[in-house]
Amino acid sequence: MLSRVAESLYWMTRYLERAENTARLINSTTQVLLDLPKGAYFGWDVLIHVAGLDALIRERGLKVDEASIMAFLIEDEGNPSSILSSIHYARENTRTFREVLPMEIWERINGLYLYIRDNARRATHSRSGRYDVLNGLIERRQSIIGLLAGSMSHDIAFQFLKLGRNLERADMTTRIVDVNSAVLLPTDPVLAVQTMERLWMSTLNALSAYQMYRRHVGVHVRSQDVVGYLLKDPHFPRTVYHCLSEIEGCLEVLPHNEKAMKAARQAYRRLERMQLGGLVPVVLHEYLDQVQADLGAVHDALSRQYFYLHQQQEALIAPGQ
Amino acid sequence: MDIIHDNYRLNDAYDELIGPDLQPRPAARALFEYLSGEDWAVLGERRKAVEAAIMSMGITFTVYSDAGNIDRAWPFDIVPRIIALSEWRRIEAGLKQRLKALNLFINDLYNEQLVVKDGVFPIEVLQGSKNFRAQCQGFTPRFGVWAHICGTDLVRDKDGTVYVLEDNLRVPSGVSYMLENRQLMKRMFPEVFQGGTILPVDDYPTQLHDTLAALSPRPGDRPVIVVLTPGIYNSAYFEHSYLAQQMGAFLVEGGDLVVKEDDCVYMKTISGLRRVDVIYRRIDDDFIDPDAFRPDSALGVRGLMRAWRAGKIGIANAPGAGVADDKVVYTFVPKIIKYYLGEEPILANVPSYLCMYEDQRDYVLANLDKLVVKPANESGGYGMLIGPRANKAERAQFADLIRENPRNYMAQPTLSISTAPTLVDDKLAPRHLDLRPFVLQSDRLYVTTGGLTRVAMKEGSLVVNSSQGGGSKDTWIVDVEGA
């Protein structure tokens, strides 16, 4: 496997996963807004904050009302993390390694790009259109994962696809969880608890996790239970814990995996040690930052080990340009 | 419904599918029987479905401009071009003969140059060749073959004669469209392919693979083959990626390869460097190795020529093969065939005038309004003068160019190239076309079944290049006798 191709595969699924999770994040937030009682407040800028895009918004001088933020997150090609940009990058990346993927994959990714290009406008302009279009995107993305699972050899290329997907997914799960820590609750304590319950229900729904949570945890939707579930449950495929174990599984079949494995296990151990009982929002936010940093360290280790030969070439060319 | 009488108007060109009596030619009869059972609305719908399939399959070529990169869908016409198997067998034999002779010629030019010493090929043509590479002299690649992949352009004149228009021996492209066109047709018209009279085209990737594998310097049945592309910004990138995918080869860019002190070529993989055996390069000679050719090339691999000359890597086409891809050299091909093979050429050359010879130049200058003038080394239809369609000023300008650099120009009479029915606004109209079969040679000789038919979509236009508004058709070789 060429270093350059491995890196492109890795980023291709990261972009796809980012687009899917941004769609989930937006859907969840739109739901949250509908459920908020009087006296609770939620600002759209929170989305920008959890997506880590504050600086770009400031630089661009964009307004932080619903319409502007939606346009920025969904169809703004000047935002490298917007849904349209992510899928565009994924598609361009796919072009460079079509030969390692099953043939139909390119058609599906190309189709996904055409879909979002043609529907992005509808998604930014009305809430009902938004839900529809974003769900369509999630469906198409899921069918790509299905096709890969069912028609691609679980070879080295497959491992890099899986690594990118799980790293991005774990990261985005922490960001989606983080949204709720920014909601200002009503002062009435009963109403506050009810509100919190609704918020977490929306989060679980956004991650397609509600049903599984009810089966495996219980019918009551309590902050600490939900956070514990989404971070530490070993079996649900969007939890940080599960993603980390998938990452470990991929690393096991790759050559020279020592450093990346070490970083993954470090992230693992820190996650296991986190005490989530009686958690206040500020501390939760810090915990989530820590998880994101640990995932970043796994990425750095992967990058140094496997993409290095390719990047070295870039470094050699760069000074002359 | 009689689709031919209603809509079709023949001009003086030969029509591939429809005879002078306005009846389908024998090889096209089954198609027209099928078409007359369909109504036009259905055909229009099929065409829309094909266009949608092209978009979703992402069969595009990229046009780069200031306004951003545009992926243009590959323009495709759903009416196939049909050739009878009996005629095709003769063309096939002619193409093999031609490539065999051309390879003997190239090898001779880089070694003893007997063809020059024997007075068959003039030394001044060789001296004026832009594509002769001194870096290749005194070397004989495996099997003595330099051009492993050749795209030969064929046209048919009004009397029905098939002529060779040019031999593309550098990095000919288009074969992926030939393969995709057939996929599209099978998707859209599965019923016409039943019965097995249309010969399949899909063994090309396997043949290409085996042709390349034979060049491996290391024995063993699984050589490491790579397709070397200039990258995603090249207009043929789709094809590079497609062929790599079809052959199970690695698609690499110059930066992925490195030549070490042992003269072997390696690619950079996630577990370190891995030795490469054969490179199918889709980069021009000028750019493949900054040590040997253009020092400013960032697309190539430093030391590649050294590795090749040391016999540590197979390269297809071999560096320097383009010496025979020159429109002046072209005029000598019939003589070249006779000289090396002792055979009469099976396929005809278009009669040509070489501007380097005074008498022929005078004729060309006096008859510019009747001739097509071509520069020796351009491709893609650029830099040509089509005399009958040019104005006085353009002809005067060309006359100056010819006088300035006569070796660089040759001229041919304007052929009336053939047409085939093409769906235009829901009606069949004749459009001009050519045919590019692909010929392979290493330890074997192989010709694609048919090739890529390119069609000028504009009425009366003779320019079939995709960069200039041409489209393509599926090409059927039909076994009429066997049906």
Q: pLDDT tens digits, residue range B189-228?
A: 888 888 778 999 999 999 999 999 999 999 887 899 999 9
Rounded Cα distance between B371 and B369, Å, is: 6
Could you give the count of Cα atoms lying within 13 Å of A312 in the half-sphere of its Cβ?
14
Kindly state the helix (H) or strand (E) to which residue B278 belongs, with its residue range.
strand B278-281
The pLDDT tens digits of the residues spanning B175-200 come to 998 998 998 898 888 888 887 789 99
Phi, then psi, of B122 in degrees rounded to 5? -70, 135
CA distance A250 to chain B (A): 14
pLDDT at B4: 66
* Residue in A4, A98, A107 nearest the CB of B56: A107
How many separate helices (H) and strands (E) can be counted in chain A?
A: 15, 0
Query: Which amino acid is present at B333?
Result: V
| Rounded-to-integer distance, Cα A90 and Cα A99, Å | 15
Under the banding of pLDDT at 50, 70 and 90, the label for residue B22 is confident
Sign of CA dihedral A26, A30, A31, A33: positive
pTM, full prediction: 0.81
**Beta-carbon separation of B255 and A314 below 8 A:** yes
The angle, 0 to 180 degrees and rounded to 10, between the axes of the packed helices A66-74 and A103-125 is: 170
Backbone φ and ψ for B201, nearest 5 degrees, come out as -115, -5
Contact B252 A2 (CB under 8 A): yes
Domain B353-413 CATH assignment equals 3.30.1490.270: yes
If pLDDT is split at 50, 70 and 90, which confidence band does B288 have? very high
- Give the per-residue pLDDT at B482: 57
pLDDT tens for B55-69 read 776 666 555 444 445
pLDDT of residue B72: 61
**Measured between alpha carbons, how far is B344 from B358 in angstroms, rounded to an integer?**
28
Residue A111 tokens, joined:
């189709």
pLDDT in tens, chain A (321 residues): 899 899 999 999 999 999 999 999 898 888 777 777 777 777 788 888 878 888 888 888 888 888 899 999 999 988 999 999 999 999 988 877 777 888 788 889 989 999 999 999 999 888 889 999 999 999 999 999 999 999 999 999 999 999 999 999 999 999 989 888 777 777 888 888 888 888 888 889 889 999 999 999 988 888 889 999 999 999 999 999 999 999 999 999 999 999 999 999 999 999 999 988 777 778 888 999 999 999 999 999 999 999 877 665 443 333 322
Judged by a CB distance cut-off of 8 A, whether residue A92 touches chain B is yes
CA distance A75 to A119: 9
Q: Half-sphere exposure of B177 toward its Cβ, with a 13 Å CA cutoff?
A: 28
- pLDDT at residue B1 greater than cutoff 60: no
Is the C-alpha dihedral spanning B277, B283, B284, B289 positive or negative? negative
More confident residue, B377 or A204: A204
State the DSSP code for B324: G
Q: Could you give the dihedral angle defined by the CA atoms of residues B119, B170, B185 and B243, in that order, rounded to the nearest 10 degrees?
A: 140
Q: How many CB atoms lie within 10 A of CB A95?
A: 20
Is B255 within 8 Å of A156 when comparing Cβ atoms?
no
Please state whether beta strands B76-84 and B470-478 pair in parallel, antiparallel, or not at all (unpaired): parallel
Nearest CA in chain A to B53: A107
Kindly report, residue by residue over B234-258, the tens digit of the pLDDT.
Answer: 878 888 988 998 898 999 999 999 9
Within 8 A by CB and 6+ apart from B328, the residues are B125, B128, B354, B356, B376, B407, B408, B410
CA distance A218 to chain B (A): 44
Interchain CB contact of B55 with A (< 8 Å): yes
Structural contact between residues B352 and B411, judged by C-beta atoms closer than 8 angstroms? yes
What's residue B67's pLDDT? 43
Range scoring the smallest mean pLDDT among A8-17, B336-345, B416-425: B416-425
Residue of A nearest to B255 (CA): A313
The SS3 assignment for B305 reads helix
Question: Which pLDDT does position A211 carry in this prediction?
Answer: 92
H or E stretch at B430: strand B427-436
* φ and ψ of B448, to 5 deg: -60, 155
Q: Given an 8 Å threshold on Cβ–Cβ distance, is A2 in contact with B256?
A: yes
Q: Does the CB of A107 have a partner CB in chain B at under 8 Å? A: yes
% of residues, chain A, pLDDT over 90? 53
Average pLDDT of every residue of chain B: 89
* A111 vs B contacts (CB less than 8 Å): 56
User: What value does the CA radius of gyration of chain A take, rounded to a whole number of Å?
Assistant: 20
DSSP run (H or E) holding B126: helix B123-127
Strand order in the sheet with B257-259: B257-259, B265-269, B272-275
B229, closest residue in chain A (CA to CA): A96
Q: Is residue A100 within 8 Å of A37, Cβ to Cβ?
A: no
Assign residue A110 a region: left if phi > 0, alpha if psi is -120 to 50, beta otherwise?
alpha
- Residue A270 CB burial class (10 angstroms; 0-12, 13-18, ≥19): middle
SS3 state at A68: helix
Nearest to A98 among B55, B245, B273 (CB): B245
Q: Cβ separation of A92 and B56 shorter than 8 Å? A: no
Chain A residue at shortest CA distance from B299: A317
Mutation target to probe the B interface, by most B beta carbons within 10 A, among A95, A108, A250, A305 is: A95
CA distance B305 to B140: 13
**Predicted local distance difference test score (pLDDT) of residue B134:** 92
Identify the H or E element spanning B336: helix B333-341
Position with higher pLDDT, B172 vs A206: B172
> Are A92 and B57 an interchain contact pair (Cβ–Cβ within 8 Å)?
no
User: Are the beta carbons of B270 and A106 separated by less than 8 Å?
Assistant: no
Whole-number Å distance between alpha carbons of B455 and B451: 13
Q: How many C-beta atoms lie closer than 10 Å to residue B372's C-beta?
A: 21
Contacts of B279 in chain A (CB under 8 A): none
Per-position b or e across B72-90, b if 16+ CB within 10 A of its CB: eebebbbbbbbbbbeebee
Measured between CA atoms, the residue of chain B closest to residue A257 is B271
The partner residues of B411 in beta bridges, in order of sequence, read B353, B373
Determine the distance in angstroms separating the CA of B130 from the nearest CA of chain A, rounded to an integer: 29
A163 contacts in B (CB within 8 Å)? none
The answer to whether B25 and B19 have CB atoms below 8 angstroms apart is: yes
Distance of CA B330 to the CA centre of its chain: 14
Tokens 């197979």 found at: B314
Rounded (10°) CA dihedral A234, A235, A241, A243: 150
Confidence bin at B127 (pLDDT 50/70/90)? confident
Q: B376 pLDDT exceeds 60?
A: yes
